[in-house]
Chains A and B, each alone.
Chain A
């Protein structure tokens, strides 16, 4: 087809499109199984989560080693932090100036002989490719790996219309033969064993293929696909980047099929989306430096190909720019950040729940954290409703994302939309409704503390062995099941607020203060410490006071709203946020306190990070300003201990443990401490240098313990598995003390230790320090 004919073809399709544009593509066959089914299948696939659990640490290690080596050799410009900053800006520029870039890209690509087609929907893109095949009499298409074609379910579309599409990437091909979707964006069949692959290949080829020998299995694809490569009328690829300055398509591949798909057939279709645009080659190089390292911990893919129009007379290159929901993302000030994604899947590799359920459940077609974020835009909110519930908000994904997408917050935004759309489950509605009424909540927890006796027999735990006796009573069954693997904490008979005495007299503190160097601290305990673990709060108060500080405890304090916000319940969350801000302002005002200290890093993150985002979204400017003013005064206990008490030499000389009796400590990094507040060395310094104790690092100390807020209620199987791993790692160190600085984790860890009868004491860092006060 001449260039003129091609343009006419494009125009014709555009005309058809506007006449028949569907709201979204609907395919009934090839239907996605419901979320619950995918989840069950994922949970029971033992091979898969073992494979993912094995992959994660080796990937983390090689990825980190590569970035560190580059920084050592070439300087800080090549550090992960700087590279990702650079790519982020390039991507942001491309998103901000998309129209300009599209124009430039189209102009240059067209000048080089390519045809560029802008497709609004999946149907639109599918139809363009199908019409092209039909027009040219093409019945066989070879494909290299493209996630966009998965997104629009192209294979299915073509096959329904009599065109055979052959995946030539090994993993994609095996998945195709087994009528499956890829479960990982980079490693499509990570969920399959070699035995399964051998079986699938034997079935497909009619020959006996080894079930054990991977090299033999790999060799099959070379033979099987050679003929297809040589006879296919069309090759379809994706694009890793579209470079606007030259109209070039960049492709990163490893197996060598990509270059054949794009070279051998007379027609090459590039299936790309708008978010692949980059301004310059220099930007593309930055992306290269991040992509393979982030994806597989490999320095660079074997083949990086740059295609600028057709290479020879008679060859055609068609580039499809797909929208399919991306305009809506771009129009949203929050979600437009997700358009920076380069599909490296680092967010999947590092994700603890993903490792337990795999990509078919943890996502829809796109998997991993980014899958939870983009699915509602490409496939509808309903498609994303189940998968989003799997996020434990551990924030690990954000730390490795090569373009700094605020994935955890965006997942919470999706969660809020799901809740706004479908409402909360009744139990959560009841819990948060109660939690948002401080007096009612206080009363109920006191009643519970009195009435819990049959479930605790006076111990600090609600234990399965007590509850099982009443398992048949209404409402007790589910609770009993929750305690089988993790005992729950008992409500304290005397919450912390009953134990603070005159410290609740805020104005008194101001009147009694004599010298300005006398520090006053307003202690925000958090509801868990107050109602469940008052002894943790007492340890905090004891340390502060032994350092000569005055402590005030505003009795009006209540839950910061985290549980509601974490569950997507913005209505109750915002009410508690306002209540907390108002309470803290008044406390500072009345007591003249210098700092607000909190020994729960989850609450700290809520106060200093999540509130800002919440009030910004709700456009509550004055609340936003008030929160900002407060945030500067708020400090987590660990940092406060090190940076104020130790640094200003206020901490008295601590007792040294008698030799031989000293405990061995292992430390669990709470996700909020390390991933959100960046605390990685502080607690260790306190344990080793300040307390002089032996610290034995556990494997994956900074991987989520599985509490994950409401996830442990909604998906107890996942919470249990993550907890089991964590406790195993803690036990392996031979330590006698398991320490952390976040009550949420401590509750989960303690409950696990108790239910499993492990020989470990679980303590808050403050409790550990308090034990060595003189």
Chain B
């Protein structure tokens, strides 16, 4: 894992420049532990995952979180989850060059967890950690290809929301989350059904 640890170190450094935090987890259990013990959940042990169905590949982490006393509430409407302590998303890609994660979700419910909650947790498989933004271009091409699989709303998220509009004073946390925590999971299996880039491409190439 030498190569990927160097890549992770770079990803971590860049994300931290952008005001976010990156962690490495060996498996889902460790990732669940990190979330459960995160200060964001200290007071209110509640996290908003995307609609369970949309979170399929990473669904296996949900029982692990419940087992650690974290309440899971599905994001149904924006009103309901506004300013909830934490949201959970899964990314299709993490990019070391910029410390960005690639989030593709057509469902509004899946997206608002990263828009309206206070701390945004993002899970991404170590296999999807790539060096350069150019990989994002390739995946964007694939994901936006017409058809039932077309992804209409994709975001590269690089750190928490920020502003320096007033006297150039950097303030973290404006309209979006105040903290971003990306957990790179070495082996999300069992239950890892996230697609590698190549698989995704192959899939969308199917007629």
How far is the CB of A636 from the nearest CB of chain B, in Å? 38
Task: Name the interface residues of A215-260: CB closer than 8 Å to any CB of B.
Answer: 215, 217-218, 221-222, 225-226, 229-230, 245-248, 254-257, 259-260
- The digit string for B54-98, where 1 denotes a CB below 8 A from any CB of A, is 000000000000000000000000110010000000000000011
B174: CB under 8 A from chain A?
yes
How far is the CB of B49 from the nearest CB of chain A, in Å? 18
B136: CB under 8 A from chain A?
yes
B169: chain A residues at CB < 8 Å are 194, 214
Q: Using A303-B156, A305-B153 as known contacts, say yes or no to A254 and B166 having CB atoms under 8 A apart.
A: no
A230 touches B79 (CB 8 A): yes
Q: Roughly how many angstroms separate A304 CA and B112 CA in the complex, as a whole number?
A: 16
A187 touches B164 (CB 8 A): yes
Give the nearest-CB partner of B104 in chain A. A306
Q: Using A112-B146, A263-B111, A302-B18 as known contacts, say yes or no to A257 and B175 having CB atoms under 8 A apart.
A: yes
B4: CB under 8 A from chain A?
no
Selected contact of A255 from candidates B112, B141, B156, B175, CB within 8 Å:
B175
A389: CB under 8 A from chain B?
no
B160: CB under 8 A from chain A?
yes
B14: chain A residues at CB < 8 Å are 299
B155 touches A305 (CB 8 A): yes
Selected contact of B153 from candidates A256, A282, A311, CB within 8 Å:
A311
A112 touches B163 (CB 8 A): no
B53: CB under 8 A from chain A?
no
B18 touches A299 (CB 8 A): yes
B29: CB under 8 A from chain A?
no
A302 touches B161 (CB 8 A): yes
Q: Roughly how many angstroms separate A284 CA and B17 CA in the complex, as a whole number?
A: 23
B153 touches A285 (CB 8 A): no
Q: Roughly how many angstroms separate A312 CA and B98 CA in the complex, as a whole number?
A: 30
B50: CB under 8 A from chain A?
no
Selected contact of B174 from candidates A189, A197, A221, A280, CB within 8 Å:
A221
Q: Roughly how many angstroms separate A299 CA and B17 CA in the complex, as a whole number?
A: 9
How far is the CB of B164 from the nearest CB of chain A, in Å? 7
- The digit string for A661-698, where 1 denotes a CB below 8 A from any CB of B, is 00000000000000000000000000000000000000
Q: For chain B, what secondary structure do more than half of its interface residues adopt (helix, strand, loop), or is it mixed?
A: loop
A264: chain B residues at CB < 8 Å are 78, 108, 112
Task: Name the interface residues of A262-282: CB closer than 8 Å to any CB of B.
Answer: 262-264, 280-282
Q: How many A-B residue pairs have CB under 8 A?
A: 182
Selected contact of B158 from candidates A187, A214, A302, CB within 8 Å:
A302
Selected contact of A303 from candidates B17, B82, B167, B176, CB within 8 Å:
B176
Selected contact of A263 from candidates B99, B153, B173, CB within 8 Å:
B153
A302 touches B175 (CB 8 A): no
A426: CB under 8 A from chain B?
no
B195: CB under 8 A from chain A?
no
- The digit string for A32-76, where 1 denotes a CB below 8 A from any CB of B, is 000000000000000000010011000000000000000000100
B174 touches A230 (CB 8 A): no
B106: CB under 8 A from chain A?
yes
A222: chain B residues at CB < 8 Å are 173-175
B18 touches A285 (CB 8 A): no
Contact residue range for chain A?
A: 35 or more
A171: CB under 8 A from chain B?
yes
How far is the CB of A281 from the nearest CB of chain B, in Å? 4
Selected contact of A256 from candidates B145, B161, B164, CB within 8 Å:
B161
Q: Roughly how many angstroms separate A484 CA and B134 CA in the complex, as a whole number?
A: 58
How far is the CB of A263 from the nearest CB of chain B, in Å? 6
How far is the CB of B110 from the nearest CB of chain A, in Å? 10
How far is the CB of B61 from the nearest CB of chain A, in Å? 24
Q: Using A256-B115, A306-B144, A308-B151 as known contacts, say yes or no to A218 and B166 having CB atoms under 8 A apart.
A: yes
Q: Roughly how many angstroms separate A260 CA and B81 CA in the complex, as a whole number?
A: 14
Interface-centre pick from B138, B171, B176 (highest chain A CB count, 10 A): B176
B188: CB under 8 A from chain A?
no
A300: chain B residues at CB < 8 Å are 18, 98-100, 156, 158
Selected contact of B146 from candidates A108, A193, A215, CB within 8 Å:
A108
A245 touches B141 (CB 8 A): yes
B112: chain A residues at CB < 8 Å are 263-264
Give the nearest-CB partner of B10 in chain A. A73
Q: Using A187-B168, A259-B115 as known contacts, say yes or no to A306 and B155 having CB atoms under 8 A apart.
A: yes
A217 touches B166 (CB 8 A): yes
- The digit string for B98-121, where 1 denotes a CB below 8 A from any CB of A, is 111000001110011001100000
Q: Roughly how many angstroms separate A191 CA and B79 CA in the complex, as a whole number?
A: 35
A55: chain B residues at CB < 8 Å are 168
A230 touches B144 (CB 8 A): no
How far is the CB of A199 from the nearest CB of chain B, in Å? 12
B152 touches A311 (CB 8 A): yes
How far is the CB of B13 from the nearest CB of chain A, in Å? 11
Give the top 10 A-B pairs by smallest Cβ distance, nearest first.
A256-B176, A256-B161, A171-B165, A255-B174, A311-B152, A256-B175, A246-B144, A304-B156, A281-B137, A257-B175
Please list 11 pairs of residues, one from A and one from B, whose beta carbons are closer than 8 Å in the complex, sorted by A's number. Answer: A113-B152, A174-B165, A222-B174, A246-B140, A256-B161, A260-B116, A260-B176, A299-B99, A303-B176, A307-B153, A308-B150
Q: Known pairs A170-B174, A300-B158, A306-B153. 6 more at Cβ < 8 A?
A: A192-B167, A218-B173, A256-B176, A259-B111, A281-B136, A288-B133
